[in-house]
Structures are given as structure tokens and as C-alpha cells.
Amino acid sequence: MLTYLRFLLATTLAIGLLAATSDQVFAKAAQLAPQQQSQILGSNTNMTLGQPAASSNIRPNVRTDFNPNATFPTISKTAFIDPLAAVIGDCEIGKLVLMAPFAVCRGDEGTPIHIGNYSNVQDGVILHALETTAHGKNIDDRRYSAEGLLLKANNTSFKNGFAIFVGDKVSLAHDVQVHGPAYIGNDTFVGMKSLIFNAKVGNRVAIGVSSTITNGVAIPDDKFVPPGGIITTQAQADKLPARVGSPYETINSFVLHVNQELAKGYNAQIIHKLATEMEDVLEEEEMLQTGSPTGSPNITETNSTNTIESK
């Protein structure tokens, strides 16, 4: 079994099948006694066996009069949540998302919050939202559909809507604030220290550093918000220049590549640590069961010593 685990780990790191490997590692861990699982998994807060246990940085929201349900975050096994990041409540984190130190997804007021596959949430980013219900009643214009429609309280799709929806392949750069209701389309870059509140941003948009987008505006697809831009009217949003040909034309592709590689690398470190700790526990268990320092039932300490001396 130990040989198999070593082979599994070496093969995995060589070919980079991160997701498949994590499932196999967890399947092996699930065969262990609960106290052994705890010993192995205790320090790996973003690696789970099924529904994750609460930890200091990944935990359910508290129940309130505007949200009576305590919901645990839903996190892809290939996402990496830094131990110094916080994911609280009804946050959905997609595949290969990287949440860097001090990034926060706080789903304890306006919920749910969605972060799509292959996106990144960099250092100091904050995602939070206004409540979407009050005393059991929905509130108009506080949730978006996954397609970007701002929902009225009586819309049958409201129950499946999002206080914040961040699409796939989105980069939220350092210190960005996204406060719901808010929607950000696919393949969009949001520059450092920018603010998006009560607004919709389309697909393939590039937002320059220190920009503000608010007041119910909708940024059309393929637009460029120059650094320091303040967009508070729809007329301003409609007059924005195209992303193609701007200084930010290709920035998101580079940022996505870097952060996806970081997510893979950090997760590989955790898997290596997990597999090593698992080997140690299994080896200790076999030694206790067989009375052998090697774990083999056919070799005792005395026999191995006599064999060496006879040579």
C-alpha cells in the first residue's frame, strides 16, 4: 500500500492530474479511522472529504432574521483558498480559482455569491452584498441571474439568482471591492483598487486601476474603462472605448495564466504533504498491527537483526 501511494503521488506530480489525484487521495483517507483522518487532514483547511468541516477561514454564516439558513461554502477541490483568505457562508468557488491572502468572500448578508471557473481573487479583494430578502420577502433588484438579468422580487428565477455573480476567467486584482448587487461577465479584468457596486459589467471588459462603477450602470461587452474612470451614468458606459486596441487589451490572458499556475502549484504542495502524512500514518498503523518496525508481518526486529549478523 505504501508503494502504491508513493507511485500515485509521483505519477500525479509528473503528469499534473491534480483533480483526479485529489479524489484518489481522499478515497484512501476515507478508509482510515476518524482519528486518523483528523490527524492527516487537520491542517489542510481547503482539502475535504465530502462536505468540509468548519475551520477558522472557511466556515458557514450565522443565522439572522434576514437569512435563517446557515450555509457552508461550496468549493471546488481544484480551487486554492489561502489560509489567510476567508470564505464564509453561501459562496460558490469554481475550478482552479485562486483566492490569495486576505481575499474575502463573505456570504453572510447578501447571498449567494458565485465565483466562476478559472477566475482569480487576489490579495485584499472583498466580495460582500446587501441583503436580498427581508422578513422572508424578496427585495427587488438585489439578485442577478447567471445570464446577467437583474431580477425583480416576484420573478420565479429570483430563488436561483445571485447577489454577486462573477463569471468564468475573471481577474479581480489586488484590493478590488465588489459589493452586490453586482454582476461581472466572463473573461473580464478588474484593475487594482477598483470598486463595483450596484452595477453590471459585461464580458471581455478591461477595467483600469482605481475605477468606480456604480449607480445601476451596465458596462457593455468588450469595453475599456480607463484608469481612474468613474462611471455613474449609462451614457458614460455606452461611450466607453473598445478594449481591443487599448493598453489593457491582453492583460487578462496573462493574469489568468499566472494565477491558474499558482493554484495548481499550491495545491500540489498540499497534496504532497497530505500523501506524505498519510504514508506516515499507514506505516505506523501497520507497525502496531504486526509488531514489526517495517510493517511486514513476516519480519520481526529479532529476525532482521539475526539475518544481518549471520551475514
On whether the CB atoms of residues 151 and 203 are closer than 8 A, the answer is no
Backbone angle region of 120, left / alpha / beta, with phi > 0 → left and psi within -120 to 50 → alpha: beta
Residue reference for cell 489525484: 21
On whether the CB atoms of residues 98 and 260 are closer than 8 A, the answer is yes
Backbone angle region of 37, left / alpha / beta, with phi > 0 → left and psi within -120 to 50 → alpha: alpha
Give dist(CA 263, CA 29) in Å, integer. Answer: 22
* Residues designated catalytic: 109, 131
* CA distances in angstroms from 260 to 79, 85, 105, 265, listed in the order given: 9, 17, 19, 9
From 175, 190, 272, select the one nearest 224 (Cα to Cα).
Answer: 190
